[in-house]
Structure 1
Amino acid sequence: MIGALMLDIASTELTQEDIELLQAPQVGGMILFARNIESPAQVRALTDHMRQIRPDILIAVDQEGGRVQRLKKGFTLLPAMGHFGELYLTQPEKALDLAEQSGWLMATEVLAVGIDFSFAPVLDINDVSDVIGDRAFAQNVADIVPLASAFMKGMQRAGMATTGKHFPGHGSVKVDSHVAAAIDLRSYEEIYNNDMQSFIKLQPQLDALMPAHVIYENVDPNPAGFSPFWIQNVLRQQLKYDGVLFSDDLTMQAACVAGGADARIRAALDAGCDMGLVCNHRESACTALEGIKNFALPNQERLERMRGKIPNIHIAEQLDLGKEWQSVKKAIEEFKNTR
């Protein structure tokens, strides 16, 4: 059974404390960071060990491309998604082809080392947000939708579920929600007609969504990830969305408005998230785990959709995943090197 909490570990191997946490029923996921990565072979050994302890665990990573990719040494360094948007302005067909290849390449490498999915793609608009910037495909929905659709088509062709972030849109908020409370003063109509449209138009391809740690003050007093209005009223009822909902990292500064880690995870789950992330702070992780030990387990059928098609292969120190992988890797690296 899959629990409602996604945690992390400190190093490249499991400690005894990590193993004990993995065995807790309410732990349903693990997310890897750069500190957990030494080589493809080491990552596959780590994920295999996690599944020996907990066969039903979901393993995730942030492998967007550009400045947000945790798997580097031994993996393809992907371009920022904004580079596809730049190319799309002059060569749209080439940009769409490369975006799809990039999605396939990212997913193929991530799955090969035993990770179920990457939290990708970013569907925000590249507007005023410094933390979003070129993580977004473009500055407008009309360009974001075809490019993100192509990227997700590549991911799904490789066997990976997709996660759109950060609903209903973080790109129009200047403040970085990692380090401060982020507040958006626009009306619901403005948000719906602008930022939300990429999520709405791409909904059929989205296996999961991650709400933003942003307070849309003139809509609801809670950050979107803690908001029954955004999750229940808008996503589940109005938009009829039935995919997985992951909270963003509940140790981010913008999440602290809800109180301690136990209060934050309860707020996220009560609002309707399926799984909450508590990263980079083991004490908070343990507090969150204690805080939901009596909660019912989340929707299992929904979370099972996030399980990746992980190949049963031996991973050497250097990746070699076949002729298509070699060809696509070369094309993406050539594109990246021309930016």
Structure 2
Amino acid sequence: MGAWRPGQLLFAGFEGTRAPRDLLGLVREGRVGGVILFARNLEGPEQVRQLVAEFHASAPAAHPLMVAIDQEGGRVQRLRAPWTEWPPMRTVGEHDRPSHTRALGTALGRELADLGIGLDFAPVVDVDTNPDNPVIGDRSFAGTAEAVGRHAAALIAGLQGTGVAACAKHFPGHGDTQVDSHKELPRVAHAIERLRAVELPPFRAAIEADVASVMTAHVVMEALDPELPATLSPKVLGLLRHEIGFDGVVFSDDLEMAAVANHHTPGDAVRLALEAGCDALLTCCRTDVRNATLAALEALPDRLLEHPARRIAALKARYGGGTKSSDVLPPYAAHTELASQLSG
């Protein structure tokens, strides 16, 4: 085994507003690649800065840590006041000024970079085609592939221009599901022609915009693989890698979600996800699942780990987030004004 370690493929969440000692221990040993922040971890600006700084300071130079967050806008934004609160992306899409969407991405990135956060699990590039979808809805920019792709590319350009990595989600599309993958396994029966016309083009647009990463969907796309959800399917992720040509980091969605956890042990999920083409695996809350995932990673052969570890190292080298570029605070007043314009 080279300088990389299996745990670099693991991105973990945690409970509480302080860094848990056991998680910090794994960070010090280079056995965790990143941590994910949720609202439950965040109290205020000084606490968040100290929390993120402690994580970064604990990581060895050979294995720097990446700190990630879901800061989409609307109902999915972990940072709220006094940080800027953004409207849902549907509202941004209806405003339909890509220059403003790019400015939104820049503002998001400035606020995250100020805290030492290097990865935003945004934007959602699912196309909102099902009014009964319980989990996407107004998180999507629009109900057409063209509009979603146009605004996703703009937001990615703004966000990544600040040194914060973007993540297009949820491949190959979660916009036309009727169940929540946090609770059960969705199935989509569309023909491949429909997927190529509607679900896939926004991902192509995001990749053309040089998006740093893509997150998978825990959704069965029956036309591509009637047995396995995209996260665990070589057929689905092979399409992303080989037909669409994405060579960046592929994140699994949270492996604790019922769509995967109800059907696979953590060990099986880890092996299947890596064999399918995932690079980084998310466990967003439970310590037991995190530890089982780490144990499974550390038991796998190098052939499944080396290429993902190299992709993750390259992502960190470009979008580490560990060091602020200056002591100048983001222009929060201007961000609030932009949020007001986008909401109008």
TM-score by length of structure 1 reads: 0.90
Of 167-176 and 255-264, more deviation after overlay is shown by 255-264
Number of corresponding residues: 324
- The Cα offsets for residues 163-194 of structure 1, whole Å up to 9 and x where unpaired, read as 10001100011111111111111122221221
**Which residue does 1:33 correspond to in 2?**
38
Q: Does the 8 Å CA contact 2:95/2:342 hold for their aligned counterparts?
A: no
Task: Kindly report the root-mean-square deviation, in angstroms, between the aligned alpha carbons of the 2 structures.
Answer: 1.8
SS of the residue 2:250 aligns to: strand
> 1:335 aligned to 315, 320, 341, which one?
341
Aligned residue in 2 for 1:92: none
Q: Kindly indicate whether residue 77 of structure 2 is the aligned counterpart of residue 69 of structure 1.
A: yes
For residues 335 and 240 of structure 2, the distance between their equivalents in structure 1, rounded to whole angstroms, comes to 36
Superposition map of 1:46-195 within 5 A: 46-55=51-60, 56-88=64-96, 95-128=97-130, 129-195=133-199
1:302 maps to: 311
Name the SS for the 2:142 alignment partner.
coil
Residues 258, 267 of structure 1: 8 Å contact kept: no
**One-letter amino acid of the structure 2 residue matched with residue 139 of structure 1:** G
Deviation at 1:336, TM superposition (A): 5.2
Q: SS at the partner of 2:43? A: coil
Deviation at 1:201, TM superposition (A): 2.6
1:223 aligns with 2:229: yes
CA distance in structure 1 between the aligned counterparts of 2:127 and 2:11, rounded to whole angstroms: 27
In 1, the alpha carbon distance for the partners of 2:334 and 2:44 equals 21
Q: Provide the TM-score with structure 2 as the length reference.
A: 0.89
3-state SS, counterpart of residue 280 of structure 1: coil
- Residues 249-328 of structure 1 mapped to structure 2, 5 A cutoff: 249-256=254-261, 258-295=263-300, 296=302, 297-298=305-306, 299-303=308-312, 304-306=314-316, 307-309=319-321, 310-313=323-326, 321-322=329-330, 325-326=331-332, 328=334
Cα separation, partners in 2 of 1:229 and 1:24, compared to 1, 3 Å? farther
Secondary structure in 2 matching 1:202: helix
Letter in 1 for 2:311: R
Matches of 1:163 and 1:334, distance apart in 2? 25
Distance 1:219 1:39 in 2: 45
1:218-244 deviation per Cα after TM superposition (whole angstroms, max 9, x unaligned): 321110010111112x11222221111
Match of 1:247?
252
Is 24-33 or 275-284 further displaced after alignment? 24-33
Distance 1:202 1:336 in 2: 21
Decide whether the 8 Å contact of 1:6 with 1:277 is kept in 2: yes
Q: Following the alignment from structure 1 to structure 2, what is the Cα–Cα distance between the partners of residues 38 and 131?
A: 26
1:38–1:73 CA contact under 8 A, matched in 2: no
Q: Answer whether contact 1:43 1:114 (CA < 8 A) is retained.
A: no
Give the whole-Å Cα distance in 2 for the aligned partners of 1:260 and 1:167.
22
User: C-alpha deviations, 1:53-82, integer Å up to 9, x for none?
Assistant: 114111100000000011114211111111
1:268 is displaced (CA, Å) by: 1.0
Q: CA deviation at 1:109?
A: 0.5
Q: Contact conserved, 1:111 with 1:117, CA < 8 A, in 2?
A: no
Q: Deviations over 1:112-151 (max 9, x none)?
A: 1011111010000112122101100000012112211111
Consecutive unaligned residues of structure 2, counting only runs of 5 or more, are none
Q: How far apart are the structure 2 equivalents of 1:101 and 1:278?
A: 31
SS of 2:34 mapped into structure 1: strand
Residues 162, 15 of structure 1: alpha-carbon distance in 2 compared, 3 angstrom cutoff: closer
Aligned equivalent of 1:196, options 189, 193, 200: 200
Q: 1: distance between equivalents of 2:336 and 2:80?
A: 16
SS at match of 2:17: coil
Partner Cα distance (1:106, 1:258) in 2: 36
Q: Aligned partners of 2:55 and 2:124: how far apart in 1?
A: 27
Aligned counterparts of 1:202 and 1:275: Cα–Cα separation in 2: 19
Whole-Å separation in 1 of the counterparts to 2:339 and 2:106: 14
Contact (CA 8 Å) 1:66, 1:79: kept in 2 or not?
A: yes
Unmatched 5+ stretches in structure 1: 89-94, 315-319
In the TM superposition, what is the alpha-carbon distance from 1:332 to its structure 2 partner?
A: 2.0
Match of 1:8 in 2: 13
